[in-house]
Amino acid sequence: MADTTLKSVGGFLARQGILVAFAVFMIGFALANERFVDIDNILGVIRSSAILGVMALGVTFVVISGNLDLSVGSMMSFSTIVVLDLHDKIGPELAIPAMFGMTLALGALIGFLVGYLRLNSLIVTLGMLSAIHGLTLTYSGGKNMDIDDKQGTWFGFFGQDEVLGMPVPILIFVLLAAVLTMLLAKTPFGRKVYAVGGNGVAATFSGIPRARTVFFCYIISSFCVATAGLIQASRSLGSQNTVGQGLELEVLAAVILGGASLLGGSGTVIKTVIGVLILGFIQNGLLLIGLEFYFQYVVTWAIIILAVWLDIAVKRGHLWSPIA
């Protein structure tokens, strides 16, 4: 009886442990600082998490398909710098679609290498992380970018304005999450993504175009990165050329926290949104209780380890390895 109870508790923690931990964190932060549950603070956290969240939505497709994308941080830096630079040269009306086109081209390149050439996604995207970072520095000449006439442009709408009292970045995040939820859950393409990630060989023998499915997962990811770059550039109307550096790990942490398996074949967009909010509120709570911002990096690392451990535990049915 004791063993059965222990296994039941272990199974529950393996499936829902991260939500239990999140609830404990939330209660602890609320008790430590009453500002944590203030509506302005809550909206502020969601707004500041929107950029990370938009990127995580696209990476969800990549991870479910059984692959990784570690290039999203440097790609976001590239899209941000490009749209700011082109804003003053050709105007925002042309700069925005031009930036999206360039970013989608990078996503298409990665999708071709991983999908059609069957190269390892970890190696490809890790290499592209460095390559795109170098491309960003080359494009910008190693300099940061700023819009010259910040008062005379409507470009700040995407990152600074509100619609019906709701910040535009949150609206973009919510709208994109809704569209991608429908795409993943209600369309043949979404079912193909799950099939390819669950068992790529079986999917191929079933007539599912694995290469094309993976290719379009990276296209979706790059579109989300371009959207995040647009929000980032619009929010400050200027940016460092390393603005996205390191975000790839936070994005991956949010996706895994949301329940997407690194082994592929499982995960949802809605749960990724929850994962993003978990990271955002934990980081905000740490700041409110007086911890320095750089402590967040340690916490993020610990969260990644915990999430991967729980993911593997769900697959094998035990929190601990039976060999140990």
198 part of a folded domain: yes
pLDDT of residue 142: 87
Cβ-count burial of 2 within 10 angstroms (0-12 exposed, 13-18 middle, 19+ buried)?
A: exposed
Mean pLDDT value of segment 253-269:
86
pLDDT of residue 27: 84
Percent of the chain beyond pLDDT 70?
Answer: 87
pLDDT of residue 205: 87
Judge whether residue 11 has pLDDT over 60: no
Which residue type does 126 have?
Answer: L
The torsion angles phi and psi of 239, rounded to 5 degrees, stand at -165, 150
307 part of a folded domain: yes
274 part of a folded domain: yes
Judge whether residue 303 has pLDDT over 90: no
What pLDDT, in 10s, does the model give residues 145-179?
Answer: 999 888 889 999 999 999 988 999 999 999 999 99
What's the rounded Cα separation, in Å, for the pair 77 and 254?
19
186 part of a folded domain: yes
- Pairing between strand 145-146 and 162-163? unpaired
Which residue type does 138 have?
Answer: T
pLDDT of residue 318: 60
Regarding predicted confidence, which is higher, 178 or 285?
Answer: 178
Judge whether residue 119 has pLDDT over 80: yes
Of the candidates 323, 219, 313, 324, the one whose C-alpha atom is nearest the C-alpha of residue 263 is: 313
Total domains in the chain come to: 1
pLDDT of residue 132: 96
pLDDT of residue 150: 85
103 part of a folded domain: yes
pLDDT of residue 42: 87
CA 250 vs CA 53, 302, 318: distances in Å: 10, 12, 26
244 part of a folded domain: yes
What's the rounded Cα separation, in Å, for the pair 12 and 14?
5
286 part of a folded domain: yes
* Lookup result for tokens 């007086």: 290
- Pairing between strand 162-163 and 238-239? unpaired
Of the candidates 265, 254, 324, 307, the one whose C-alpha atom is nearest the C-alpha of residue 16 is: 307
Mean pLDDT value of segment 77-85:
96
Which residue type does 207 have?
Answer: G
pLDDT of residue 29: 81
pLDDT of residue 12: 56
2 part of a folded domain: no
Q: Note down the domain range covering 215.
A: 55-316
Judge whether residue 313 has pLDDT over 80: no
